């Protein structure tokens, strides 16, 4: 007799025949069938045809509540008026010049006004480029070579960043001195010597002190996207104090949290200022972007070194991205009330979900902050990445099938978002959909 999972797979195949067909074709044309490794989905991804506001429609005509939001890009939903207008205007003026232009000024004034640690800002094309450039800046300004990062933090996919992001329990090493493991083949082994891996406990401060002479900077995601785990404020305060005392730069990677939790990101919420911060996603208003914010003095020191501090990029600061970026920042500056509203909606979602699973005795929980959330297949709320390692993988996969069945689209690892375009009714539907999804998963 057909089991429940087989019946669901059959139902999903019936609902998404065209996506299934494109998936077969993609695997033949694109390595692994995906343009970004993070986009896999059980049993195969849905192929999206269009998006508007808080919704996506796939090529088979199914409508979903969008909790991918392009991995956190679309704070204002898909196609907000201000961005559409900016694209139309800039389209008529030209897409890319390879020369300076006035949109740089408008964007930069707004960016620097919003970000607490910013006196000056620099734009590139992705968050990955931003962290690469930020770490080069930290090395140039201090004359030291090593960068410390925390186990489980993601800072993009460049060769310096992709160490111990996903944690393998067989290789992770002791809790006070985590091993440094590559996240992919092809990363030169030598780079490991320029990195220090820190744990999310007090041993981090001992390690920083031990390596102070060689450490240019310490990088951290103030809310970890992998797991949606906010870092404790007292831990960040101590990190700020210790790095300052030892002459080590502190880097907050706000590629996800920047402009999402508050206009000034996590720095504004905690009042803790890093020496430099990186951005991406929301600041581009829907188009590819990365950005760095820091003090003028820091840039000056790096520029005055023997070899200077340089960066380039054919598309860096192109007028189209800066037009959509500036339009988005302008909207956010004029509508800061949306942040309080999203904080409240996030509380509603997390409390509603966590109360429900607790009342049912289900081994699930939801973490996150504001409009960022993640469902875990474990009863205990995780606080740090190592707390998430022993989840029920089958339950996570079954949960993914249930999300699709309930017409809610989430990224595969379930780090998820909503935005200002998601109404109270959407949030209500999401909560009911998540409850139905865990009910369904418990029956599988
Ligand atoms: C904290 C953080 N840093 C850096 C990046 C890399 O950004 P991008 O994907 O634009 O290269 C990401 C991407 O999700 C991120 O979450």
Protein residue closest via CA to atom 8 of ligand 1: 127
Active-site choice (58, 66, 253, 275): 253
Cis peptide preceding 43, ω within 30 of 0:
yes
- Whole-number Å distance between alpha carbons of 429 and 280: 29
**In contact, 406 and 433? CB cutoff 8 Å:** yes
Protein residue closest via CA to atom 13 of ligand 1: 156
**In contact, 265 and 259? CB cutoff 8 Å:** yes
- Whole-number Å distance between alpha carbons of 11 and 151: 39
Q: Alpha-carbon dihedral of residues 52, 53, 58, 61, nearest 10 degrees?
A: -80
- Pocket flag, ligand 1, residue 398 (CB < 6 Å): no
Non-local CB neighbours of 240 within 8 Å, separated by 6+ positions: 250, 272, 273, 274
Cα of 25 vs its chain's centroid, Å: 29
Whether the predicted pLDDT of 344 surpasses 90: yes
**How big is the chain, counted in residues?**
444
Cα of 339 vs its chain's centroid, Å: 18
- For 68-124, the pLDDT digits (tens) are 999 999 999 999 999 999 999 999 999 999 999 999 999 999 999 999 999 999 999
Pairing of strands 290-294, 408-409: unpaired
pLDDT at 47: 97
Domain segments of the chain as ranges: 4-78+337-443, 81-334
pLDDT at 40: 87
The mean predicted confidence, pLDDT, of the chain is 96
Strand order in the sheet with 290-294: 120-124, 290-294, 276-280, 249-253, 215-220, 146-150, 195-198
- Pocket flag, ligand 1, residue 156 (CB < 6 Å): yes
Judged by phi (left if over 0) then psi (alpha if -120 to 50, else beta), residue 317 lies in: left
**SS3 labels along 139-189:** HHHHCCCEEEEECCCCCCCCCCCCECCCCCCCCCCCCCCCCCCECCCCCCH
Please state the rounded mean pLDDT for residues 138-158.
98
- Pocket flag, ligand 1, residue 153 (CB < 6 Å): no
CATH class, domain 81-334, is: alpha beta
pLDDT at 418: 98
Please state the rounded mean pLDDT for residues 282-301.
98
- Whole-number Å distance between alpha carbons of 13 and 121: 48
Pairing of strands 215-220, 195-198: unpaired
pTM: 0.97
183 φ, ψ to 5°? -90, 0
User: Ligand 1 test: best mutation among 34, 37, 126, 127, most atoms within 8 Å of CB?
Assistant: 127
- Pocket flag, ligand 1, residue 302 (CB < 6 Å): no
**Spacing, Cα 102 to ligand 1 middle (Å):** 27
**Spacing, Cα 225 to ligand 1 middle (Å):** 9
CATH annotation of 4-78+337-443: 3.90.1150.10
Residue 383 gets which letter from DSSP? -
pLDDT at 1: 56
pLDDT at 310: 83
Ligand 1 atom nearest 280 alpha carbon = 10
- Whole-number Å distance between alpha carbons of 141 and 153: 23
Active-site choice (55, 64, 71, 154): 154
Query: Is 28 part of the annotated catalytic residue set?
Result: no
Please state the rounded mean pLDDT for residues 181-195.
96
- Pocket flag, ligand 1, residue 152 (CB < 6 Å): no
The model's confidence at residue 226, banded by pLDDT at 50, 70 and 90, is: very high
How far the first Cα of the chain sits from its last, in Å, is 14
**Spacing, Cα 127 to ligand 1 middle (Å):** 5
SS3 for 126?
A: coil
Please state the rounded mean pLDDT for residues 10-14.
94
- Pocket flag, ligand 1, residue 275 (CB < 6 Å): no
- For 255-266, the pLDDT digits (tens) are 999 999 999 999
- Pocket flag, ligand 1, residue 131 (CB < 6 Å): yes
- For 301-317, the pLDDT digits (tens) are 999 999 998 889 999 99
pLDDT at 309: 86
Least confident of 114-118, 142-146, 258-262, 392-396: 392-396
**Spacing, Cα 123 to ligand 1 middle (Å):** 14
Q: Alpha-carbon dihedral of residues 314, 315, 317, 320, nearest 10 degrees?
A: 140
Protein residue closest via CA to atom 12 of ligand 1: 156
Q: What radius of gyration do the chain's Cα atoms show?
A: 22
Query: Is 91 part of the annotated catalytic residue set?
Result: no
**Spacing, Cα 286 to ligand 1 middle (Å):** 14
pLDDT at 343: 98
- Pocket flag, ligand 1, residue 221 (CB < 6 Å): yes
33 φ, ψ to 5°? 80, 0
How far, CA to CA in Å, does 327 sit from each of 80, 84, 287, 397?
10, 9, 12, 39
**Spacing, Cα 149 to ligand 1 middle (Å):** 14
Nearest to 408 by CA among 375, 380, 368, 362: 375
Ligand 1 atom nearest 288 alpha carbon = 10
Non-local CB neighbours of 75 within 8 Å, separated by 6+ positions: 69, 259, 260, 282, 328, 332, 371, 419, 420
Whether the predicted pLDDT of 37 surpasses 90: no
Residue 271 gets which letter from DSSP? -
């Amino acid at each position: 007799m057909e089991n429940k999972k087989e019946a669901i797979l059959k139902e999903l195949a019936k609902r998404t025949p065209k996506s299934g067909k494109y998936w077969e074709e993609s695997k033949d044309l694109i390595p692994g069938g995906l343009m970004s490794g993070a986009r896999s989905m059980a049993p195969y991804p849905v192929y999206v045809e269009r998006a508007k506001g808080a919704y996506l429609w796939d090529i088979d005509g199914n409508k979903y509540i969008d909790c991918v939001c392009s991995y956190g890009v679309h704070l204002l939903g898909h196609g907000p008026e201000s961005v559409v207008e900016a694209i139309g205007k800039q389209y008529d003026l030209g897409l890319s010049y390879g020369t300076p232009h006035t949109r740089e000024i408008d964007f930069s004034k707004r960016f620097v006004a919003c970000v607490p640690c910013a006196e000056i800002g620099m734009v590139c094309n992705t968050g990955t480029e931003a962290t690469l450039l930020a770490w080069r800046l930290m090395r140039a300004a201090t004359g030291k070579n090593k960068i410390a990062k925390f186990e489980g933090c993601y800072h993009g996919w460049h060769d310096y960043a992709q160490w111990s992001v996903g944690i393998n329990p067989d290789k992770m090493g002791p809790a006070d001195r985590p091993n440094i493991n590559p996240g992919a083949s092809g990363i030169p082994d030598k780079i490991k010597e320029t990195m220090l891996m820190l744990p999310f406990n007090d041993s981090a401060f001992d390690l920083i002190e031990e390596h102070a002479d060689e450490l240019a900077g310490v990088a951290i995601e103030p809310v970890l996207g992998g797991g949606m785990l906010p870092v404790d404020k007292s831990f960040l305060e101590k990190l700020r104090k210790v790095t300052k005392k030892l002459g080590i730069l502190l880097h907050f990677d706000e590629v996800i949290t920047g402009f999402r939790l508050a206009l000034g990101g996590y720095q504004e919420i905690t009042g803790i200022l890093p020496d430099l911060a990186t951005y991406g996603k929301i600041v581009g208003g829907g188009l590819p972007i990365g950005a760095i914010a820091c003090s003028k003095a820091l840039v000056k020191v790096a520029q005055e070194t023997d070899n200077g501090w340089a960066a380039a990029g054919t598309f860096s600061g192109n007028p189209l991205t800066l037009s959509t970026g500036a339009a988005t920042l302008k909207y956010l500056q004029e509508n800061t009330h949306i942040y309080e509203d999203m904080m409240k909606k996030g509380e509603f979602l997390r409390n509603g979900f966590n109360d429900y699973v607790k009342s049912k005795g289900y081994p699930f929980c939801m973490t996150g902050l504001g409009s960022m959330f993640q469902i875990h297949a474990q009863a205990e709320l995780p606080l740090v990445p190592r707390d998430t390692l022993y989840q029920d993988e089958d339950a996570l996969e079954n949960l993914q099938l249930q999300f699709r069945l309930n017409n809610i689209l989430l990224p595969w690892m379930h780090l998820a978002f909503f935005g200002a375009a998601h109404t109270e009714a959407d949030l209500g539907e999401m909560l009911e959909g998540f409850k139905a999804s865990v009910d369904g998963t418990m029956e599988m």
